Amino acid sequence: MPVMDEFKEEREALKHGTLKEKLSYFFEYYKWHVIAIAAGAFFIISIGWHWLTQKDTAIYAALINAVEMPRAEEYAQSFAEAAGIDTDEYEIHLDASMRIDLNVLDQVTITSSEKLTAYIAAKNVDVFVTDEAIMQHYAYGDTFLDLREFLSEEQYAQYQPYFYYMDQTVMEEYLANRNGMDTSNIIEYPDPRNPEAMDDPIPVGIYLKADSALKDSFYYTGDCIAAIVGNTKRAENVSKFIDFIFE
Task: Tell me what the mean pLDDT of segment 34-57 comes to.
Answer: 53
What local confidence, expressed as pLDDT, does residue 46 receive?
44
H, E, C per residue of 98-128: CCCCCCCCCHHHHHHHHHHHHHHHCCCCCEE
Find out whether 218 and 180 touch, Cβ atoms under 8 Å.
no
pTM here is: 0.75
- Residue 242: pLDDT above 80? yes
| The pLDDT of residue 183 | 47
pLDDT of residue 19: 53
pLDDT digits (tens, 9 = 90+) for 51-108: 444 689 999 999 999 999 999 999 999 999 999 999 999 999 999 999 999 888 889 9
Residue 216: per-residue pLDDT: 86
- Return the pLDDT at 144: 97
User: What are residue 204's phi and psi, to 5 degrees?
Assistant: -125, -5
The predicted-structure confidence for 114-172, as pLDDT tens digits, reads as follows 999 999 999 999 999 999 999 999 999 999 999 999 999 999 999 999 999 999 999 98
In this prediction, residue 47 carries a pLDDT of 39
How much is the pLDDT for 17?
A: 57
Instruction: Encode pLDDT of 188-237 as tens digits.
Output: 899 999 999 999 999 999 999 888 899 889 988 888 999 999 999 999 99
> Would you say residue 184 has pLDDT above 90?
no
What percent of the chain has a predicted confidence (pLDDT) above 70?
75
